[in-house]
Structure 1
Amino acid sequence: MHELHLLLIFHLIGATIWVGGHIILSLVILPQVWKEKSVEKLFSFESKYERIGLPALLVMVITGIRMSYIYIIKISNWFNFENPIERVVSLKLICLATIVLFALSAQFYVLPRLKTDNTKLPLMTFHIIAVTTISILMLILGSFVRYGGI
């Protein structure tokens, strides 16, 4: 099996776990949390999901970087936007950085306050929906590589 194909398989498995988990969180868990006003369900899901979600994200980062090098998009070409594949890689990296910022905000600001203050639920909801939307966007961007980029 060609290295690129193997990397793509692992990348897609990671994306399945990451995006799928966030879709479940947004469409199943979050409505229950709002209906029952029970943030405990959110914390319960988060503690279980992060054990597979974070490693999946790490797999996607590692495989994504390696695949970009196979496509001859080295770190020095990131954010140049000069060719179609560079644009995909650069846009996905911007999305990843945005997700990291949301994760840091959630971890260090929103979640600690949400444990004792349900009024932070709208802010947490915004974080969840934003990360889910950005994750789906990354999936869509990645699909353009098949057609030579954007």
Structure 2
Amino acid sequence: MDHHLLLIIHLLCAALWVGGHLLLVFAYLPQALKTKDQNIILNYEKKYEAIGMTALVLLVISGVLMAYKYNVSIEYWFHFDSPIEKVVSTKLLLLLLTVAFALSAQFRVLPKLKNDPNKLPEMTFHIVAVTLIGVLMLVFGTFIRFGGF
């Protein structure tokens, strides 16, 4: 697949993933915390999950394919030898951290949050962490344009 098309897919999916989380943090989360109503978060999560997860899967696929186009194949992941490898490996580490937060939220926090608004602070930590990670991944991705870091 053409690199430019991969980049467009990657950027559109990043807009959906990061934008959806920023919307959650700045529009829905404050309201949920103020009213102590976990259903605000749960309802947003229900609406956003399909598009957000699709965007995340396409981000991973397009990111891996672009890494290969930059000659950073799997055997070079986490070597941190070249500037591009550093960007790719850092983004992969952040992706693994995102997955850890997502699994924790999905299997540990969300089931409890459905019946207990006192779990909102823990869910807030997960939401803010995943949002910050997403923003960091977006920023680190821009360094590809300059040859890495």
Name the counterpart of 1:69.
68
Name the counterpart of 2:83.
84
1:106 CA drift (Å): 0.3
**Cα distance in 1, alignment partners of residues 118 and 32 from structure 2:** 13
**Cα distance in 2, alignment partners of residues 114 and 41 from structure 1:** 11
**Cα distance in 2, alignment partners of residues 89 and 11 from structure 1:** 14
Mapping of 1:104-119 within 5 angstroms?
104-119=103-118
1:75 CA drift (Å): 0.1
Name the counterpart of 1:93.
92
Moved over 2 A (4+): none
The one-letter code of the counterpart of 1:71 is Y
SS in 2 for 1:13: helix
Name the counterpart of 1:8.
7
Name the counterpart of 2:59.
60
Q: What TM-score comes out, normalization by structure 1 length?
A: 0.98
1:46 CA drift (Å): 0.3
Structure 2 unpaired stretches of 5+: none
Structure 1 unpaired stretches of 5+: none
Over the aligned positions, Cα root-mean-square deviation in angstroms equals 0.8
The one-letter code of the counterpart of 2:125 is F
**Cα distance in 2, alignment partners of residues 34 and 63 from structure 1:** 35
**Cα distance in 2, alignment partners of residues 65 and 22 from structure 1:** 22
Mapping of 1:23-38 within 5 angstroms?
23-38=22-37
Name the counterpart of 1:123.
122
SS in 1 for 2:148: coil
**Cα distance in 2, alignment partners of residues 107 and 51 from structure 1:** 14
**Cα distance in 1, alignment partners of residues 111 and 11 from structure 2:** 32
SS in 1 for 2:115: coil
The one-letter code of the counterpart of 1:96 is L
